[in-house]
Structure 1
Amino acid sequence: MKNIAYIENFEDWANSFTYSYPVKVRFSETDLFGHLNNTKVFVFFEEGRIEFFKEIGVMQQWLTRGGEGIPVTSDLQCNYLRQIYFDDRLDVFVKIHSIGQTSVDLHYLIKNQHGDICITGRGRMVQVHKKTGKSIEWDEVIKNKLHSSTTSANI
């Protein structure tokens, strides 16, 4: 496997994901050659991330009217390992790699219907105040939910 800076041991890393979200590549997401447009990967990351946050119970807190914090993406990257085509069925895996005072570093893995690893990725989400745009620390409820969803030894 390629040397990817944010992955120490590729096999261990790939096997450590427990949450996945299924997607199917639509025709509108492909280019003239029938393979996935490179920008659509970030949409798949977003879908997987939102569903992951719903699953662990933090998305609901961000969406409440009284809540002050919202998550924003501060950086996002991916590595393309294998082409993806129209009508492929994919599993978008998401996990927490590390938790900071105001941020969380997420890792992504996308496999096709044959179990082949096609894409890896990582990104940092920062919780910011809705009105000021300045980062704010996790409250205890969110921090506990983030920690309880991790299986990584890095946390």
Structure 2
Amino acid sequence: MKANYIEDIQQWTDGFTFHADVTVRFSETDMYGHLNNTKVFAYFEYARIEYLKSLNRMEKWIDPQGDTIPIVADLQCDFVKQVFFDEKLSIFVKANSIGKSSVDLHYMAKNERNEIVFTGRGAVVQIGRKTGKPMPWSEEEQKVFMENS
């Protein structure tokens, strides 16, 4: 593995506890039957939202009266193995590090043979709904991310 955000692959892999499952749909493949390279970001989005829901972080962000919303500041993917139509994947998510108003999430996708097929990372920043400026995490939010990293 050559992803610059992974120092020790075994330690990194062992740090994941949450995952969401997906099955590669025909419409997500290219003419060769491979998973289209843009579709992994939709898988990251799905797993990220499920992860944040599991931490009870989504409720305030989807409240139209809420003061803050999350934005994805950056996102990257590193492909390890080919993925094909109808494969079942587990998309793992964890908080790798927490900043004042951001969290660096890491992703790992495994196939049914328990092989890593792609990895990724991306920063999510909490911003003010009206100002568009970063808004710091509360102590409780920091604690929840730290406990789940």
**Range class of TM-score, shorter chain:** over 0.9
Paired amino acid for 1:82: K
Between the aligned partners of 1:30 and 1:129, the Cα distance in structure 2 is: 37
Between the aligned partners of 2:61 and 2:140, the Cα distance in structure 1 is: 12
2:56 matches 1:53: no
- Where 2:100 maps in the other structure, the secondary structure is coil
Structure 1 residue 141 displacement after superposition: 3.4
Structure 1 residue 149 displacement after superposition: 1.9
Identity in percent = 46
- Where 2:37 maps in the other structure, the secondary structure is coil
TM score, norm. by length of structure 1: 0.92
* Other-structure match for 1:145: 144
Structure 1 residue 113 displacement after superposition: 1.1
* Other-structure match for 1:11: 10
Between the aligned partners of 2:17 and 2:90, the Cα distance in structure 1 is: 11
Between the aligned partners of 1:65 and 1:43, the Cα distance in structure 2 is: 24
Structure 2 unmatched ranges of 5 or more: none
In the TM superposition, 1:32-111 aligns within 5 A as 32-111=31-110
* Other-structure match for 1:29: 28
8 Å CA contact retained: 1:111, 1:119: yes
Structure 1 residue 142 displacement after superposition: 2.3
CA RMSD of aligned residues (A): 1.0
Query: How many residue pairs were aligned?
Result: 149
Which stretch of the first structure deviates more once superposed, 55-64 or 44-53? 55-64
- Where 1:43 maps in the other structure, the secondary structure is helix
- Where 1:28 maps in the other structure, the secondary structure is helix
Structure 1 residue 131 displacement after superposition: 1.3
Question: Structure 1 residues 40, 103: closer, same or farther in 2, change over 3 A?
Answer: same
Structure 1 residue 127 displacement after superposition: 0.5
Paired amino acid for 1:105: D
Paired amino acid for 2:92: F
Alpha-carbon deviations, 1:8-47, whole Å to 9, x = none?
1012111211000000000000000001000000000000
Paired amino acid for 1:28: S
Paired amino acid for 1:115: N
TM score, norm. by length of structure 2: 0.96
Structure 1 residue 75 displacement after superposition: 0.5
- Where 1:144 maps in the other structure, the secondary structure is helix
- Where 2:36 maps in the other structure, the secondary structure is coil
- Where 2:82 maps in the other structure, the secondary structure is coil
* Other-structure match for 1:153: none
Structure 1 unmatched ranges of 5 or more: 151-155
Between the aligned partners of 1:115 and 1:148, the Cα distance in structure 2 is: 25
Paired amino acid for 2:42: V
Between the aligned partners of 2:65 and 2:14, the Cα distance in structure 1 is: 38
